[in-house]
Chain A
Amino acid sequence: MDFKQAALLGSYISKDYAEEMFRLLATYSSISASEAASRLDLHVKTVQDFLEALYNLDVLGREEVYEKKRPYYRYTLKIKTIAFKLDLHYLFPSEAKDDKTSLRIREKMNAGARFTTARSDPYISNIAIWIGKGRERTERRINLSIPQGQFLYHLPFPSAEFQSINDIMHKAGLDSEHIPEILDIVDALIEFGVIEKGTA
């Protein structure tokens, strides 16, 4: 099951009426949306969406039937157990991402970001970035983890030479275990135009 399917399943299972719906589906050999809606005193559209979603997730089966030439669906429960298995492997940084630590970066000139330095130790505690223009301008504040803050504290100034992420991490005294979170904030700040990439 991928993340989207899991999210969809989770959202429908968490409905107040979900257990009652499954009880009906388990009791009836097949049931239509209007029958279930009248039985549970719900709006037919609510039940229709629920049944369709579970059909798309392959939990329910569906059969088109005709009553006075008007087609409608009857649903049957296909399975007796829902196994919720979500693969998170793809969210972990791949080996190839480590190569990104050789990326040479520095703060972008006139980035318009406001860095707040922690009072106790040398690290940046948060960054405020202005997004949009004119009246639509909004402030986006990013609170940083301590390793991220230490990394950004040592980020080369806009007028300084570019430095590789590896070198900056070394300067900040950070171990390789922090690489994923550093790469994450670097990617985000490149996207917001706070950090610029140098040529290799």
Chain B
Amino acid sequence: MLLKIFIMYFIRKLKPALLGTEFLIPLFALPAFLIVVGIWGIRAAWGAIAVIEFLVVLMHLNMYFRTKNNSFLWLAAAFLIIVFFAIYISMFGMPHKDHERTVLIIPVLCAFFIMGYIVLNKKIKWRTREILELSAMPVEETRNGFTERPLSIGKIDATEKEINSFAEFISKNMIAMPYQENGTIIFSISSSYWKQNGLRRGYEDESWISFNRSGEVNVFISQNDYLIYRDTFSFDQLCNNMGHLFIEFFELFKKGEGIRIMDKLNAFHLNPVTE
């Protein structure tokens, strides 16, 4: 019970999330949309929406192929409905008869419901901030000590097959993006909007945890991620905790208790949209 209270009311170690690129895009898109309405009319604007939403569909399909997270397929389907709706309005305008309007709007409402369900249940939320919070949870010491070197955590008893299955689980649940390199799996904890949405690849300049084929675990926390912390927490302790957190996740996964990993991450109740 005490543990539960502790988890529910934890002290935040990260600075509040800043407005990311995902918020800046609509901020610029809205005036552009209004300009299109002003110059070419509302139907042209719906056409523009159809094009943009189609790009979103492609983006989600790309994310599905990269993570194998089914929620992206649902989202792609939902956005496809919006695309068809926008194309229809753009070509024929809004129907005047009530029953025609209802037939058109019901699928759109379903699409919004799917989107809302997926977003609010954090099905496509990258768990970067949760990982960083969990890593800093037991750290009180503030001795800075940032270095660009990775930290060797130690060895785990794991087969290559187990590590590969774990990587699938981690990417499917949006905990980290795995990259395979010379027999080493690198779990990239990305804070970049472009990388989180599959628009850029690679783990350079990002924090990562690696498991090599002999079971050696190494951790690296990027300077950008270290600066997200409210205080200059002891860097070696942060790296150590992050490494052991992933080792704990791996052990839980091996025991078939992957759901406990998700419970642990969900216990933070971070905002599904802004964080």
In angstroms, Cα B212 to Cα A114, docked, is 24
Interface residues of A in 98-113 (CB under 8 A from B): 107, 109, 111
Nearest chain B CB to A113 CB, angstrom units: 8
A117 touches B149 (CB 8 A): yes
Given A119-B182, A159-B236, residue A109 in contact with residue B144 (CB < 8 A): yes
A75-102: CB near B (< 8 Å → 1, else 0) gives 0000000000000000000000000000
Tell me the total A-B contact number using a CB cutoff of 8 A.
56
Query: Could you say which residues of chain A place their CB within 8 Å of the CB of B149?
Result: 107, 115, 117, 124, 152-153, 155, 157
Say yes or no: is B165 at the interface (Cβ < 8 Å to chain A).
Answer: no
B152 touches A158 (CB 8 A): no
In angstroms, Cα B152 to Cα A152, docked, is 11
Give how many B residues have a beta carbon under 8 Å from the other chain's beta carbons: 23
Partner of B151, one of A109, A114, A124, A157: A157
Given A158-B235, A160-B236, residue A114 in contact with residue B144 (CB < 8 A): no
B150 touches A117 (CB 8 A): yes
Nearest chain A CB to B149 CB, angstrom units: 5
In angstroms, Cα B141 to Cα A154, docked, is 21
A153 touches B150 (CB 8 A): yes
Partner of A159, one of B145, B184, B220: B145
A160 touches B152 (CB 8 A): no
Residue of B nearest to A172 (CB): B152
Residue of A nearest to B182 (CB): A120
Query: Could you say which residues of chain A place their CB within 8 Å of the CB of B220?
Result: 117
A157 touches B148 (CB 8 A): no
- Consensus secondary structure, chain A interface: loop
Given A157-B236, A159-B237, residue A122 in contact with residue B150 (CB < 8 A): yes
Residue of B nearest to A124 (CB): B149
A122 touches B216 (CB 8 A): yes
B150 touches A159 (CB 8 A): no
In angstroms, Cα B181 to Cα A158, docked, is 29
In angstroms, Cα B74 to Cα A9, docked, is 82
Say yes or no: is B170 at the interface (Cβ < 8 Å to chain A).
Answer: no
In angstroms, Cα B141 to Cα A111, docked, is 20
Given A117-B149, A153-B149, residue A158 in contact with residue B212 (CB < 8 A): no
Nearest chain B CB to A128 CB, angstrom units: 10
Partner of B147, one of A107, A120, A122: A107
Query: Could you say which residues of chain A place their CB within 8 Å of the CB of B145?
Result: 109, 157-160
Nearest chain A CB to B71 CB, angstrom units: 32
Say yes or no: is B143 at the interface (Cβ < 8 Å to chain A).
Answer: yes
Say yes or no: is A61 at the interface (Cβ < 8 Å to chain B).
Answer: no
B235 touches A159 (CB 8 A): yes
In angstroms, Cα B143 to Cα A36, docked, is 72
B109-134: CB near A (< 8 Å → 1, else 0) gives 00000000000000000000000000
In angstroms, Cα B236 to Cα A124, docked, is 17
Given A109-B144, A122-B218, residue A159 in contact with residue B234 (CB < 8 A): yes
Given A122-B152, A122-B216, residue A157 in contact with residue B182 (CB < 8 A): no
Query: Could you say which residues of chain A place their CB within 8 Å of the CB of B216?
Result: 122
In angstroms, Cα B216 to Cα A122, docked, is 9
Say yes or no: is A156 at the interface (Cβ < 8 Å to chain B).
Answer: yes
B181 touches A119 (CB 8 A): yes
Query: Could you say which residues of chain A place their CB within 8 Å of the CB of B147?
Result: 107, 111, 115, 157-158
A157 touches B235 (CB 8 A): yes
Residue of A nearest to B146 (CB): A158
A159 touches B143 (CB 8 A): yes
In angstroms, Cα B149 to Cα A154, docked, is 9
Q: Which of A117, A158, A159 has the most CB of B within 10 A?
A: A159
7 shortest interchain CB distances as A-B pairs: A159-B145, A158-B145, A157-B236, A160-B236, A159-B143, A159-B234, A120-B182
Q: State the A residues within 8 Å of B (CB).
A: 107, 109, 111, 114-115, 117, 119-122, 124, 152-160, 171
Known: A124-B149, A158-B146. 11 other contacts (CB 8 A): A107-B147, A114-B148, A115-B147, A117-B150, A119-B181, A121-B212, A153-B152, A157-B235, A158-B144, A159-B234, A171-B152
